Amino acid sequence: MHIQFDSNLRLFSISTENSSYVFGLNDRGILQHLYWGAPVLAADCVSLMGSRSHSSFDAALDREAEEYAFWGGLSYMEPALKVRWHDGVRDLRLIYDGYRIEEAGNKETLTITLKDETYPIEARLIYTVVPGLDLIERSAVIVNTGSEDIVLESSQSAAWTMPTLENYRLTHVTGKWAGEFQLRETVLSEGKKVLESRRGFTDAHANPWFAIDNGRATEEAGEVWFGALAWSGNWKIVAEKTAFDLVRVTGGINDFDSEWTLASGESFETPVFVGGYAAGGFGSMSRMLHQYQYEVVAPGRDLRKVLYNSWEATYFDVNVQDQTALAERAARLGVELFVIDDGWFGQRNHDRAGLGDWTVNPEKFPSGLGELIDRVRGLGMEFGIWVEPEAVNPDSDLYRQHPDWVYHFPTRSRTELRNQLVLNISMPEVKRYIIGFMSDLLERHDISFVKWDMNRTITEPGMLNHPLNRQKELWVRHVQSLYEIWSELREKFPHVAFETCAGGGSRIDFGMLRYADQAWPSDNTDAYDRLSIQEGFSYVYAPKQMTCWVTEEISGMNKRVTSIPYRFHSAMTGTLGIGANLNHWSEEQLAEAAALVAQYKTVRPLVQEGRQYRLSKLKHKGLEAVQYVGIGKSGEEESVLFAFLHSQKLGDRLPRLLLQGLDPDERYIIEGIEGTYSGRALMRVGVELPLRGDFDSLMYHIRKQP
Ligand code: GLA
């Protein structure tokens, strides 16, 4: 049993392989958090329980450590639940009502029920233990058990209370278009640090994930407490430190401009906020989260295919001849999936028109898409296509017919972004339109991959189809409808893989990744810039889900010049793709690329399903390195190392790089290097890296000696 309740001590304890999580019911009936960290006996935590006060002004300090803070009485921390009753009263007093432990498959779930003293509401706190991983999934279900409406002003998924540390370092990511997933750290002082999105999707400016340590954890060692939220719309994670040195991280759907009305008998389920404890530094945290994706979020997904995407090669100028020529070259490289991007439909010759008109453009494809698809299939590749179903250009037939289908306020102008507006996908007719044209596209064509884009934040959040007093439900309804659409399409077309994209990496989170097989982290395809984007991505999300393209020698983004191997190695650390204009590549370049694609395929299971180790010790020398260990094609554990040297000063020797994750007692061979080496030697004495000059890179495939 992973979950237990000690009725004498009134303690709940959740144990995973390497962690304990303990909370109890104190003498005031408050569900008080007590402990989270390395394994302990629940009974040892009993002395931590009890109501505390400091002065009459700080009279309910135990409420600072509440498992699920309700806003009412003496509670001034970030609330997890804040409600407005039908009579205008805004005060909640949740008291413990009972618990239930259930087992389903290999999962164990604890549900605790809280009820208000007098008003008819139930808050169910749900804790699911993820077997084998030191993770707990938390969420809440709020139920209206009365006859009058209840307005939820804030209903968060969970609050994670931290243990006492001498310092609270918060690690998170920030970013922007073409510069997503940049790692940041800050030491929390008293007050709040808020990470959030208010833009309608997950957002490049922040990502719903946090990690806290005492300031000394490294990649390889130290304790890290972390969490990630499965929500693809407006979200909020608040890291709050009180004057009494208590740190709590509360997260869920952003309560900004948000309300949800629960009618009699209705319930509202928050997204899952998964939390974890890692004893082995940030590396072990990431490996846990990657495993969580492979086993729980999106189990049973195939290895991702090597894809070609023609966006950077042809932009909107797609036509059957050019795409066929690109496909022929892509096939020669060993590409397995050929994807056409924007521009194949309606009057979409630029980003000012056509979005919303999902019929094949007859000038570009006179015989329909079938001609190109047949050719692609004939070349032995699968076919994929780009869509952006949630948005519309005002210059489109769809908008001319249905100007009211977009979010807007009738008295205000409609702000355009990339010349487009967002469809109100909560309207049944809009949902039907999207599912209709997508089904048509996927039924009538042999398509096995969809890149689903969303190049627009939400503004003027008005829904014509919705009651005036419930307009603030838009942010949640958009995401719910999106999930419903994706889930229906996935069910109808199980053979089709989906990629989540939003102007680059603006919609990547555990909510979306339940439906998406892979994600586009950034429109920035510069091989060096990508290293830091991909590193930040890898803190939370798995390499298999990270689509990376090899593009031109001179980056279209920043004019940096890098070699073919460097660009490939950078893209080979995730799901490999190619986005260059292969029609301009010489025979030598194509041959070099084909050899690298073949190499990728030999290490693909390691990269896409193995354990990832970020080797960060030589960063100060300008060296980025990442290693994967997993079951290779041989059926044995193998490893692959990718190393990237940014630049080197004359005479500045690169120290040896220490590998990780190998069996110390095994002997290994490294392709391209003479001799055999023990795992111990590779991890303690390291490997020499023959990297020189600027933007140099290498890949070492490491196998056990036969
Ligand atoms: C977004 C995507 C790109 C590409 C374009 C097409 O910017 O991130 O990869 O698909 O849209 O318009």
The average pLDDT across 74-98 equals 96
* pLDDT exceeds cutoff 80 at 426: yes
pLDDT band at 248 (very low <50, low <70, confident <90, very high): very high
| pLDDT score for 58 | 87
| pLDDT score for 265 | 98
Q: Report angle CA 248, 68, 125 to the nearest 5 degrees.
A: 130
Q: Is 26 in the pocket of ligand 1 (CB under 6 A)?
A: no
Angle between helices 320-333 and 587-609 (to 10 degrees): 70
Percent of the chain, pLDDT > 70?
A: 100
The average pLDDT across 666-686 equals 97
Q: How far is the CA of 281 from the centre of ligand 1 (A)?
A: 35
The average pLDDT across 616-642 equals 96
| pLDDT score for 52 | 83
Q: How far is the CA of 405 from the centre of ligand 1 (A)?
A: 23
Q: How far is the CA of 568 from the centre of ligand 1 (A)?
A: 21
Task: Give helix then strand counts, H and E, for the chain.
Answer: 11, 36
* pLDDT exceeds cutoff 80 at 542: yes
Q: Which atom of ligand 1 is nearest to the CA of 502?
A: 8
| pLDDT score for 321 | 98
The average pLDDT across 181-207 equals 98
The average pLDDT across 525-550 equals 98
| pLDDT score for 485 | 98
Report CA-CA distances (Å) from 600 to 220, 425, 448: 27, 40, 22
The average pLDDT across 227-232 equals 98
| pLDDT score for 1 | 80
Nearest in space to 140 (alpha carbons), one of 73, 94, 91 = 94
Average pLDDT value over all residues in the chain: 97
Helix (H), strand (E) at residue 474:
helix 474-492
Q: Is 312 in the pocket of ligand 1 (CB under 6 A)?
A: no
Higher-confidence position of 557 and 409: 409
| pLDDT score for 92 | 98
Q: Is 504 in the pocket of ligand 1 (CB under 6 A)?
A: yes
Q: How far is the CA of 504 from the centre of ligand 1 (A)?
A: 7
Dump pLDDT digits (tens) for 375-415: 999 999 999 999 999 999 999 999 999 999 999 999 999 99
Q: How far is the CA of 502 from the centre of ligand 1 (A)?
A: 8
Please give the backbone phi and psi of residue 553, each rounded to the nearest 5 degrees, phi first: -60, -45
Q: Is 453 in the pocket of ligand 1 (CB under 6 A)?
A: yes
What are the catalytic residues?
453, 523
Residue closest by Cα to atom 2 of ligand 1: 503
Q: Is 311 in the pocket of ligand 1 (CB under 6 A)?
A: yes
Q: Which atom of ligand 1 is nearest to the CA of 501?
A: 8
Q: Which atom of ligand 1 is nearest to the CA of 351?
A: 12
* pLDDT exceeds cutoff 80 at 131: no
Q: Is 342 in the pocket of ligand 1 (CB under 6 A)?
A: yes
| pLDDT score for 29 | 86
pLDDT band at 51 (very low <50, low <70, confident <90, very high): confident
| pLDDT score for 286 | 98
Dump pLDDT digits (tens) for 154-180: 999 999 999 999 999 999 999 999 999
| pLDDT score for 60 | 87
* pLDDT exceeds cutoff 80 at 625: yes
Q: Is 661 in the pocket of ligand 1 (CB under 6 A)?
A: no
Taking the C-alpha atoms of residue 192 and residue 237, their distance in angstroms, rounded to an integer, is 10
Q: Tell me whether residue 635 is exposed, middle or buried, using C-beta atoms within 10 angstroms of its C-beta: 0 to 12, 13 to 18, 19 or more.
A: exposed
Q: Report angle CA 79, 85, 88 to the nearest 5 degrees.
A: 105
Dump pLDDT digits (tens) for 559-595: 999 999 999 999 999 999 999 999 999 999 999 999 9
* pLDDT exceeds cutoff 90 at 613: yes
* pLDDT exceeds cutoff 80 at 461: yes
